[in-house]
Copies of this chain bind each other. A is one copy, B any other.
Amino acid sequence: MAIHKKEEFTQKEQDLANFAKAMAHPARIAILKVLAQRNACICGEIVDLLPLAQSTVSQHLKELKNAGLITGTIDGPRSCYCINWKAFEKFNSEFSFLFANLKLKNEKACC
């Protein structure tokens, strides 16, 4: 890439983009589903459920964690992961607001 231009956008735009980026892979969406459906949250269980290698799952978990969508705490030799509902709610409402805001201002498309 020539130069990074992402910084030239507003913080909110960057935040939303980062959130979207974290969700921009089916494996990560599947992981979020697993984390919610069971209260288990153990890395190994996720590995068993997904068609991916352990290291790959670990990488996806790290990205979700970096994006703030999940939290991870060490539980003996295991790692317990859980969804960060607060962040989720925040981004969900931010998205909804964006959509609502857009829709409000321009109900019908011009093309």
Contact = CB atoms under 8 A, between A and B. Distances in A.
Best-buried of A20, A71, A96 by chain B (most CB within 10 Å): A20
A110 B39 contact: yes
**Dominant SS among interface residues on chain A:** helix
Identical chains in the assembly: 2
Q: How large is the interface on A (under 10, 10 to 19, 20 to 34, 35 or more residues)?
A: 35 or more
A111 B26 contact: no
A89 B99 CA distance: 8
B52 A110 contact: no
Contacts of A82: 109-111
A110 B5 contact: no
Interface of A: 5-6, 8-10, 13-14, 16-18, 20-30, 32-33, 35-37, 39, 41, 51-52, 71-73, 75, 80-85, 88-89, 92, 95-96, 98-99, 101-103, 105-107, 109-111
5 nearest A-B pairs in the assembled complex, by CB-CB distance: A9-B26, A36-B102, A20-B23, A82-B109, A21-B24
